[in-house]
Structure 1
Amino acid sequence: MEVCYQLPVLPLDRPVPKHVLSRRGAISFSSSSSLFGAPDPRQLSQRRGAISYDSSDQTALYIRMLGDVRVRSQVGFEPERRSSHPYLCIDFRTLHTRPSSGSTSADSSPERRVHRLLSFQRYLHSSRLLRGIPQQIPLHILDEDYTGQARCMLEKVGTWNFDIFLFDRLTNGNSLITLTLHLLNQYGLVELFQLDMLKLWRFLVMVQEDYHSDNPYHNAVHAADVTQAMYCFMQEPILAKSLTSCDILLGLLAAATHDLDHPGVNQPFLIKTDHYLATLYRNNSVLENHHWKSAVGLLRETGLFSHLPAEDSLNMERELGSLILATDISRQNDYLCRFRRHLDQDNLCVSNASHRHFLLQMALKCADICNPCRPWELSKQWSEKVTDEFFQQGDIEKKHKLEVSPVCDREMNTVGNIQIGFMTYVVEPLFAEWTRFSDTRLSHTMMGHIRLNKASWGALLREQSSVAEGPSSPGTDPEDGAATGGSSSKEIPQGSRES
């Protein structure tokens, strides 16, 4: 039995295309519905929220939107075998869930059938509801004092020492929604592009929900931090006077969605376990392609750009993908060499659309790995979080007798040596070239923080070595090659990077 939920909304100034009036198994919108009136059944265009490869097969795979996330229909919900590895069968949607002793099999009751799967994270929420587990709310409803402090922080959103952790607490865990909406309004993009506020709000809420809150690092707070950093870079004089409104809109949306639905493990892990995403994208920028397609899926589902000409909407989706794909750490040297070549030849022309897009790519790359450039109090928290995520992956690999990925073995690495290697071989070369491009106070501040943070980690390592028995072993001394597993940028796990 299928259920179609219809959410009536206020009439909009612009007519809503018929093809987005309703969808089966999801929230539906109808421009003809009043706020409290019942929808007209004749106006409902019934369709499934996915594409069926073989609708006659009861176990057909339904591929949502562009083919990223799969769910079996007609047979109830049961975990799919997403890996053909003989020693590993992990459902990443429930990677962080705790077993429930009172739960029953989902396929024992027809009412528990699920016909649509939007992401790992949103399935996790729905499965908890199906098992009768209430959703956890981290904080109580905020009072005026909290919201007032959040507004005060937004007045200084362009400062480099912006504390995203404090802002997330003040917004009750809604830092990504609040920050992105504020920046879009500050630039006047909502009015300029005639974005429907209901669709925009729904899009941002779904984006935040699709980040895995149980990931120590790759979560919505990281996305909000990258978005704030992207805003700082776009405010630099050389970019502020040249970027178009479309460039700014794409830059903010790319920053907010650049790690959408990240499973908390890196690309090599997905490849060696034969995960279906690795197969889908042929082991090429697996996570980045998934982030992009997930973002496009939400754009189409909410119809945020449905009022634009179809060609313009498709172009924006392609350029959004180009920005997100640039965050692939395995292509770091390619982008860096191209950037250095442009700077050496002094041929970057901000009036050229392709050059501006490339600069946006470099800005997003910088924003993605800018944690070592933050003040020590913030940088240290991010370093501990990303290392925690690395070590969680290493524990899974050990549990299933897989080769442990570089920097993911907690017995061979520490936060300090990982961070020193990352700063030495990845962060410093990139930001040195960015400083050549934008020689401003912010650039010099970031380079200063890199040096200070690197020295602070070195001091902590020396302090740890002094209390340990015997001399420092190779790989733990910051002067000996900087870090275990961090001797080159290629050893940074793809996808499970500081991004």
Structure 2
Amino acid sequence: MEVCYQLPVLPLDRPVPKHVLSRRGAISFSSSSSLFGAPDPRQLSQRRGAISYDSSDQTALYIRMLGACVVFKQLFARDVRVRSQVGFEPERRSSHPYLCIDFRTLHTRLSCGALSADSGTEKRVHRLLSFQRYLHSSRLLRGIPQQIPLHILDEDYSGQARCMLEKVGNWNFDIFLFDKLTNGNSLISLTLHLLNQYGLVDLFQLDMVRLWRFLVLVQEDYHNDNPYHNSVHAADVTQAMYCYLQEPMLSKSLTSYDILLGILAAATHDLDHPGVNQPFLIKTDHYLARLYRNTSVLENHHWKSAVGLLRETGLFSHLPAEDSLNMERDLGSLILATDISRQNDYLSRFRTHLDQDSLCLANGSHRHFVLQMALKCADICNPCRPWELSKQWSEKVTEEFFQQGDIERKHKLEVSPLCDRETNTICNIQIGFMTYVAEPLFGEWARFSDTRLSQTMLGHMGLNKASWGGLQQEQTAVSEEAELSTADPDAGESRSKEIPQGSRES
């Protein structure tokens, strides 16, 4: 059910009221408040990603203003819509003390000063940005002039981005460079390109305006202040998923429905990720943990957030209701498979199929299971990328772990095993992850699809593991030498005197 009203358009040259610039560009009003008056604070609903919920009324009306990204400004400028929530139990917060932790503002270096009251009069920005991009463009709002006209820069960069998309199937595709060339819109650009390349837009008669809007909302609902679980990670997983869909075992068997489902699942698989893991949500009695009863908490939330955006934009509203519901259900099945705590269950089932040679890709359920395994591989394929890319991802995911550990220590919680920066290093975390998680999964995937790509991934993972091992040995040697010199300062000096000059220079 969608309720639409014609609302007055805000002039572009007038500052947007502070109540409009709510977090992530979303405003929600309860049904009992006036649409055009000031909302009653007691009736304000709250929104987490794509799921809006109200503290008193499940069927309340919601208003959301969307500031479009640069490439979509003509489609989405001054777009205001009113909708009602349909189909989900509302996610309700409680008054638990740990719920005051705001996961969206953990990284003060990004948010500090972006919307401060004393920042002075904001200068008009000549590009329409989403709220997420608006935060990152705070320097523009402080009036720092641009040396190069933005439209020239955009044309130059978009041309290079198009050239990169011609090689989107290469395993060494640099998603970080592509994100820069698309002005931070890598997920939108990549997903749309793949849907067009497969002819899915025409085949499923997708409305382009609704598709654009859906992709913009998906990208916005990733927290780009997360070091790892952000829209660039989603774009990277989508690109990896495309590489797997091109493998002979899959390309000869998958239907257009399977391909559409795989691409959408990859793009939305971590939607609205808060930057902390499931055990953290459970031990802090977070409302999401209670809503999903401590079972696949994040994955359930990613799925429901994705379905919420599908319904909000009406992307599949032209399909029969049964087909649309089936697609939502199958999308959830894929996203839920990325729960790392269920890794062994899926791996054992996959290994049994391969041992018995019982996979029949003419069977719909078997194809869906293979899609689940492909998405699992795409989700954790970072150790299998070339070293330059893999190292960046490893540093980002480790930093996200350590930030969670910092929060746990600050609030006097037990620090999670991999999240303590005082006892862990990026080297031992990555070596352990490759040994116990990545190698078993990609070893079985290579049995299923023994291709050049599979061997390349295994080769990269072996080299990357050796590289982390070498760095770990260097760090150990340096730390031991530091401890020795601290314990006996004269020992280090005497040792250096014993080393020949030629050896020291080499």
> What SS is found at the alignment partner of 2:418?
coil
Residue 155 of structure 2 is matched in structure 1 by 144
- 1:215 is matched with 226
Alignment of 1:90-169 (within 5 A): 90-96=101-107, 98=111, 140-141=150-151, 142-169=153-180
TM norm structure 2: 0.74
1:383 aligns with 2:360: no
Report the alpha carbon displacement of residue 146 of structure 1 after superposing the two structures with TM: 1.2
Deviation of 1:285 after TM superposition, in Å, equals 0.5
- Tell me which amino acid in the other structure corresponds to 2:471: L
Contact 1:93-1:123 at 8 Å conserved across structures: no
Cα distance in structure 2, aligned partners of 1:85 and 1:51: 24
For the 8 Å contact 2:186–2:232, the answer to whether it is kept is yes
What is the identity, as a one-letter code, of the residue corresponding to 2:211?
Answer: L
Equivalent AA in structure 1 for residue 178 of structure 2:
F
Structure 2 vs 1, CA of residues 279 and 161 (structure 1 numbering), >3 Å: closer, same or farther?
A: same
- Offset, 1:466: 1.5
CA change 1:65–1:457 in 2 (3 A) is closer
**Matches of 2:352 and 2:421, distance apart in 1:** 38
Find the counterpart in structure 2 of residue 405 from structure 1.
416
State the shift of 1:212 in Å.
Answer: 0.5
1:310 is matched with: 321
Structure 1 position 297 matched with structure 2 position 329: no
Whole-Å separation in 2 of the counterparts to 1:88 and 1:123:
23
Q: Is the 8 A contact 1:68 1:277 kept in 2?
A: no
Q: Which residue is 2:502 aligned to?
A: none
Match of residue 351 from structure 2: 340
Check the 8 A contact 1:84/1:273 in 2, yes or no. no
Mapped pair 1:200 → 2:177: no
Give yes or no for the alignment of 1:324 onto 2:335: yes
Greater fraction of residues in helix: 2
- Deviation for aligned residue 1:467: 1.6
Structure 2 CA distance for partners of 1:86 and 1:173, relative to 1, 3 Å: closer
Q: Contact between 1:259 and 1:291, CA under 8 Å: does it hold in 2?
A: yes
Mapping of residues 214-363 of structure 1, within 5 Å: 214-363=225-374
Q: Give CA deviations for 1:278-305 in whole Å, capped at 9, x if unaligned.
A: 1111111010000000000000000000
Aligned to 2:504: none
Report SS of the residue matched to 1:160: coil
Please name the residue that 1:441 is paired with. Answer: 452
1:17-48 C-alpha deviation (Å, 9 max, x unpaired): xx546169899xxxxxxxxxxxxxxxxxxxxx
> Which residue type is aligned with residue 4 of structure 2?
S
Tell me the secondary structure at the aligned position of residue 468 of structure 1: helix
Seen in structure 2, the aligned counterparts of structure 1 residues 249 and 433 have a Cα distance that, compared at 3 Å, is same
- What is the rounded CA distance, in whole Å, between the counterparts of 2:454 and 2:169 in structure 1? 14
Deviation, 1:91, is 2.7
Mean CA deviation greater in 219-228 or 87-96: 87-96
Residue 22 in structure 1 maps to residue 8 in structure 2: no
Cα deviations by residue, 1:35-86 (Å, 9 ceiling, x for unpaired): xxxxxxxxxxxxxx9897999x984575779994445589xxxxx9956555
Extract structure 1 runs of 4+ deviating beyond 3 A. Answer: 23-27, 49-55, 57-74, 80-88, 93-104, 122-129, 133-143, 470-473
CA deviations 1:192-245 (Å, max 9, x no partner) are 000000000000000000001100000000000000000000100010010000
Seen in structure 2, the aligned counterparts of structure 1 residues 419 and 385 have a Cα distance that, compared at 3 Å, is same
Query: How far does the alpha carbon of each residue in 1:345-402 deviate from its partner, in whole angstroms, 9 at most, with x for none?
Result: 1010000000000000000000000000000000000000000100011011111110
Q: How big is the shift at 1:149?
A: 1.0
How many residues are matched? 412
Secondary structure at 1:456's aligned position in 2?
helix
Q: Quick one: distance in 1 between partners of 2:419 and 2:135?
A: 30
2:479 equivalent to 1:468: yes
d(CA) in 2 for partners of 1:63 and 1:300? 18
CA RMSD, 1 decimal: 3.6
Q: Distance in 2 between matches of 1:235 and 1:438?
A: 11
Aligned CA distance change for structure 1 residues 261 and 174 (closer, same or farther; 3 Å): same
Q: Which whole-Å CA distance do the structure 2 matches of 1:144 and 1:305 have between them? A: 32
Correspondence for 2:375 among 350, 364, 377: 364
Other-structure match for 2:429: 418
Query: Structure 1 pair 279/465, CA: closer, same or farther in 2 (3 Å)?
Result: same
> 1:102-133 CA deviation, whole Å, 9 max, x = no partner?
968xxxxxxxxxxxxxxxxx99889999xxx8
Cα distance in 2 between the residues matched to 1:61 and 1:470: 59
If you compute each CA radius of gyration, which structure gives the higher value, 1 or 2? Answer: 2
Q: Which deviates the most, 268-277 or 362-371?
A: 268-277
Kindly state the Cα deviation for residue 455 of structure 1 after the two structures are TM-superposed: 0.0
Letter in 2 for 1:22: C
One-letter code of the match for 2:437? V
Q: Matched residues in 2 for 1:135 and 1:304: separation? A: 38
Q: Which amino acid aligns with 2:402?
A: F
Q: In 2, distance between residues paired with 1:136 and 1:83?
A: 42
Give the direction of change, closer, same or farther, for the CA distance of 1:410–1:197 in structure 2 (3 Å limit): same
CA shift in 2, pair 1:368/1:136, >3 Å: farther
Q: 1:25 to 1:395 in 2, by over 3 A?
A: farther
Give the gaps of 5 or more residues in structure 2: 10-26, 34-39, 61-90, 118-129, 485-506
